[in-house]
Amino acid sequence: MPRVPGVPSVQKLTTNPAPDQFLRTEATPEAFGALQARALQQLGGAIAGAGQDIDAANEIRLEEQRVRKAQAAALELEELLANKLEGEGGFYRMQGNAAADGGDAARAKVKETVDKFVGRFGADDPRLRDRVKQVADERLRREIPRMARHS
C-alpha cells in the first residue's frame, strides 16, 4: 500500500466480514420448520389474494363482453322482428278481417321466432343467454300489446 508522507498508515478494511463475525444462534429443527411454514403460509396467502384479484378482473371483463353481445343481439332481434311484422306479408301489413283473424297466429309466430332467436345463445355462456332472454322478453312485452291494438 502506498504511503503518504505525514499521514499515519491505515489498515485495509474488508467489506465482507469473516465467517466468525456472523451472529450465531441455535434453533431446534421444530422451531426452524415452524418459521419456514409461517413464511410459506404468508406467501400462499399473497398468491391466493393475487389470484382472487385476477379472477375478479376477468369476471368484470366477461360481464362487459356479455353486455356488448346482448346489445348486439337486441339490435339483431329488432331487425328480425321488423322484417317478420312489417316486411312483405308481415302482420302489420294486414288490414281488416285478415289482421283480426291472423292476430293469434302472428303472436304465436313472433313468440316462436323469439324463442328460436334466444336458443342460439348461451350454449357456452348461460349468463349471456339470460341477458338475451331478458332483452327478448322486454321486446315481447312491448310488441304483443301493439299487435293486439292492430288486430
Rounded mean pLDDT, 116-127? 81
Q: Quick: pLDDT tens for 29-70.
A: 888 889 899 999 999 999 999 999 999 999 999 999 988 988
* pLDDT tens profile 89-99: 777 777 888 77
What separation in angstroms does the CA of 129 have from each of 23, 79, 120, 132? Answer: 66, 19, 8, 5
d(CA 76, CA 121): 13
> In angstroms, what CA-CA distances link 15 with 1, 18, 23, 151?
17, 9, 17, 97
Q: Provide the pLDDT for residue 8.
A: 64
Enter the DSSP assignment of 9.
-
Which pLDDT belongs to residue 57? 95
Higher pLDDT, 72 or 17: 72
Q: What is the pLDDT of residue 20?
A: 60
DSSP at 95 = -
Handedness of CA 37, 42, 47, 49 (dihedral sign): positive
Helical residues (DSSP H) of 4-151, grouped into ranges: 29-86, 96-119, 126-150
Question: What value does the mean pLDDT take over residues 103-122?
Answer: 82
Whether the predicted model's global pTM rises above the 0.85 cut: no
- Long-range contacts made by residues 78-81, C-beta under 8 angstroms, separation at least 24? 78/139, 80/113, 80/117, 81/110, 81/113, 81/114, 81/139, 81/143
pLDDT at 18: 58
Q: Which of 84, 70, 65 is nearest to 138 (CA)?
A: 70
pLDDT band at residue 114 under the 50/70/90 scheme: confident
